Amino acid sequence: MTTTEDLAFIHRFEPARDAALPPLLLLHGTGGDENDLLPLGQAVAPGAALLSPRGQVLENGMPRFFRRMAEGVFDEDDVRRRAHELADFITAARQQYRLPAPVALGFSNGANIAAALLLLRPEALAGAVLLRAMPPLRQPPEVALGGKPVLMLSGVADPIIPPASSQLLAEQLRAGGATVTQKELPAGHGLTQMDVALSKNWLAGLA
């Protein structure tokens, strides 16, 4: 595994041990970094290539992938800018590491930027696992997702993201043509073993 500042994002890359598996793009939550989701990626897709960038926005010293005005209130101009920057990084990383399009595995802020990629730069991803996601854009553009597979896992007791918000994102992605599997778990905002098991089973079905 390598840690590098090459390309536009500080990131870590773990080469595939099983070339039949799609690579995972690991996108951390607020306060995480390029190391944060590596254990999760290894658990849900053993042997897959892992590409894990660090968000470039700092909020009180904590890395994020885009700015927000307040809890649940996003700077949508920054969402758009950062989504395009991340998509360009993915393109460059695919060339450098010789990867097919990755499946995003994002948690919280990372899941939200993954959703923004699907809505703004769908060619960057082969699909996505969105853990505790909400709509990154109030009025997303029309998009052709062509059946891209998306797994959304939300927590019924999540104090940050109400179920209706996750449902709205699922509807936005379905309207764009994504194949969305959505499940509500008996959980809060944090991840559980159920998230790990469901994500692993779903990803296994893509191989």
Which of 28, 36, 158, 195 is catalytic? The answer is 158
Which of 52, 108, 166, 199 is catalytic? The answer is 108
State yes or no: is 189 an active-site residue.
Answer: yes
Residues 6+ away with beta carbon under 8 Å from 15: 1, 49, 97
State yes or no: is 11 an active-site residue.
Answer: no
CB atoms within 10 A of CB 165: 16
Residue 93, phi then psi, degrees to nearest 5:
-65, -40
State yes or no: is 28 an active-site residue.
Answer: no
Which of 33, 84, 88, 189 is catalytic? The answer is 189
Which residues are known catalytic residues?
Answer: 108, 158, 189
